[in-house]
Amino acid sequence: MLESTQVPFDAVELLLDGHDGQLPKLDMYWLLKYYATNWIRAPVFLHNQHASGLLVERFVPLWARAYVHKLATLVQFGWRQARGLPLGAHAAFKACGVDAATMRLTRHAVAGAEAVDARAAQRQLGDLLELSVRSCNALIEKFHHSFFLYLQSGTESFVTIEQYITPLAAMVLSLLLQVCWGVG
């Protein structure tokens, strides 16, 4: 889905969350991010990532900003997943089992980014949508492997279920052992 809230835009915001926290496969995210940065030439943000970046810049020392920014993005993404509320119009497609995401053209006032007029970029946006639809055919292969359980910690990084389930299981096991040890 393509959504334009501001006619001159300077950034693309990707909305991934569907009903009950369902996500599109990670290949679709990378595909949309690649086309947005290379065809439209606009920076890509996750939902509310820019707002958390402003808080990090204001209150966190310079040496820890990158780590705290990724942690804040990861916590926001996990919280939205836990709440399970849809973010965009693509959620109706996710409810039917179709991988979908919403690209929102917004005005973030990014330093150094020039505003792109949506009317002038209509051909690029049309090409972007056509390439996305054509590429989805290649994404639906019988033996294709892609993650659909992940947490985004930034536009360039993610945490897969294999990376976060082991520490979670260790914490639950330690709680169970403490309960059993305290009862006996």
Cα–Cα distance measured from residue 153 to residue 155, given in angstroms and rounded to the nearest whole number:
7
Q: What are phi and psi of 158, to 5 degrees?
A: -150, 165
Q: Is the overall model pTM greater than 0.75, yes or no?
A: no
Domain map of the chain by residue range? 2-183
On whether the CB atoms of residues 135 and 122 are closer than 8 A, the answer is no
Following CA atoms 85, 89, 95, 100 in sequence, which dihedral angle do they give, to the nearest 10 degrees?
A: -110
Q: Over the stretch 141-157, which tens digit does the pLDDT of each residue have?
A: 544 555 667 777 777 77
| 56-73: b (≥16 Cβ within 10 Å) or e | beeeeeeeeeeebbbebb
Both tokens of 32, joined, read 């949309």
On whether the CB atoms of residues 40 and 126 are closer than 8 A, the answer is no
Q: Over the stretch 25-40, which tens digit does the pLDDT of each residue have?
A: 777 888 888 888 887 7
Cα–Cα distance measured from residue 52 to residue 45, given in angstroms and rounded to the nearest whole number:
11
Predicted local confidence at residue 143, as pLDDT: 42
Question: Helix-strand-coil percent breakdown of the chain, rounded to 5?
Answer: 55, 15, 35
Which range is most confident: 56-60, 73-77, 136-140? 73-77
Cα–Cα distance measured from residue 28 to residue 35, given in angstroms and rounded to the nearest whole number:
11
Least confident of 44-53, 96-105, 133-142: 133-142
Predicted local confidence at residue 173, as pLDDT: 92
